Structure 1
Amino acid sequence: MYKTINANTLEALTKIDTPSICNAIEGFDVRPRTEGFMSADIRSQLPSLPAVAGYAVTAMISAKSPHGPQASRDDWWDFIMSVPAPRFVVIQDIDDPAFGAYWGENNSNIHKALGCVGVATNGTVRDLDEVRPLGFQLFSPNVAPSHGYVHLVDVGKPVTVGGLTVHPGDLMHGDKHGVTSIPFEIADELPAMVKTIADYEALNIELCQSDNFSLEKLKELAKATRPY
């Protein structure tokens, strides 16, 4: 049985940028600040698209050879549908270096129809112009023109992408800044914490943009309790 959060909260999270989500998580001090998000090389290849949030569906792929272990697409699709929607695909490419793109126009259409909002992979993606109108987010280090012998190796197991280990059902969030996981125990409280932090930062920004700015006023304002 997978955990879920309130649908209204999940929708609210898609209106918040990922840096603000990360700031808010820090405000609860539930994990080290060096953990919980993917490394900077896992970036949106479609940065004009809005933030997405969903529950992780996980798989491993390889493209170097047509031989070796292979998982069934039917099993993959069945597994996807066993996880609550909306779904956030996380694909670990076990090739080193990764080169064959599993993700492009065809898979984006299929997985959007299966209730997925985007994919994060340490592999490659392609067909950017065709995927962009779908509103389907693509997070990866690189793009590639060919899929090689790409195939599923395993599905529904923990995977590691961008240094982050993701389990099926984990709550994920991503936008043009990158991808983070969200601890379930604080998820419903995140929108309120985001507002608290935004209000705090607004005071600094207002002062810095004011004609009345002074170093003394900045130092005085900095004495206020930082919420994160």
Structure 2
Amino acid sequence: MSEIEVDKNVERAAKLETATLSDALDRLCLVGQCYKIKPRDPSFRMAGRAFTILYGPAGSPAGTVGDFIDDVPSGSVIVLDNGGREDATVWGDILTEIAHRRGIAGTVIDGINRDVHLCLSLGYPVFSKDNWMRTGKDRVQVEGTNVPVTIGNVRVAPGDLLRGDADGVISIPKEHEERVLAAAEEIEAAEKSIREAVATGMRLDDARAQFKYHQLQTRRTGDQV
């Protein structure tokens, strides 16, 4: 896939809601809904390619929580797999400040972050299970960079397409993104038609029947991936 095509699909994803992308994933029998990963502020929105970090329990001597930030390409989404831990953070204000300055699209954490005030004041999108102040230093360490990770029970590989909004985070496998985006765009168009029909006086049940609302997420012939 060329860089132009990659940018195009990030732009396409940015125009779609996570709920619509979720329906498209269901149609294609793909799992990409990152369970319980939420924005620290409902106004946060992001889209970009995954730059992944895998964490594990700290050894003896302990490794670091990571100095990876300078290697992350602008426009990427930083994806941190801390195994869902809620007792040790892997993201705070220094990383938020640098990521915001460098034009990184956002951060997604299977775990928690701290220093929420700064991501709120800067408008830097952070999506995580929760927030708490306890450091991950000497508790966790980086085990791998740009390796497959797990976020909210979803496998995320480097370069996969991430989309986040008020409803949470969707991860789209790179090898299936064209079909997922096309399905989501079709679903969005149908729902727009339903709204327009209702606005002109049509009954909702009739509009839904006309535009096949109840079949939008149903797997169709040729939808196999």
What displacement does 1:222 show? 6.4
Q: Distance in 2 between matches of 1:186 and 1:88?
A: 18
Residue 191 to residue 133, structure 1, CA distance change in 2 (3 Å) = farther
Which residue identity does 1:55 align to in structure 2? R
Which residue of structure 2 aligns with residue 22 of structure 1?
22
Identify which range, 203-212 or 149-158, moves more after superposition.
203-212
Confirm or deny: 8 A CA contact 1:123 1:140 kept in the other structure: yes
| CA deviation vs aligned residue, 1:123-163 (integer Å, no higher than 9, x gap) | 21122221123332111111102315355322312221210
Is the partner of 2:163 in helix, strand or coil?
strand
Unaligned runs of 5+ in 2: 218-225
Which residue of structure 2 aligns with residue 198 of structure 1?
188
- The percentage of aligned residue pairs carrying the same residue is 24
| CA deviation vs aligned residue, 1:28-71 (integer Å, no higher than 9, x gap) | x2xx24x12211x1111121122x11111122336x76845515
Which residue of structure 2 aligns with residue 61 of structure 1?
55
TM-score normalised by structure 1 residue count: 0.74
What displacement does 1:224 show? 7.8
Q: Distance in 2 between matches of 1:12 and 1:210?
A: 29
Which residue of structure 2 aligns with residue 124 of structure 1?
112
Name the count of aligned residue pairs.
Answer: 214
Confirm or deny: 8 A CA contact 2:172 2:180 kept in the other structure: no
Query: What value does the CA root-mean-square deviation take over the aligned residues?
Result: 3.4
Confirm or deny: 8 A CA contact 1:69 1:153 kept in the other structure: no
Q: Distance in 2 between matches of 1:97 and 1:151?
A: 10
What displacement does 1:13 show? 2.0
Residue 92 in 1 paired to residue 58 in 2?
no
Confirm or deny: 8 A CA contact 1:43 1:139 kept in the other structure: yes
Confirm or deny: 8 A CA contact 1:105 1:127 kept in the other structure: yes
Confirm or deny: 8 A CA contact 2:18 2:167 kept in the other structure: yes
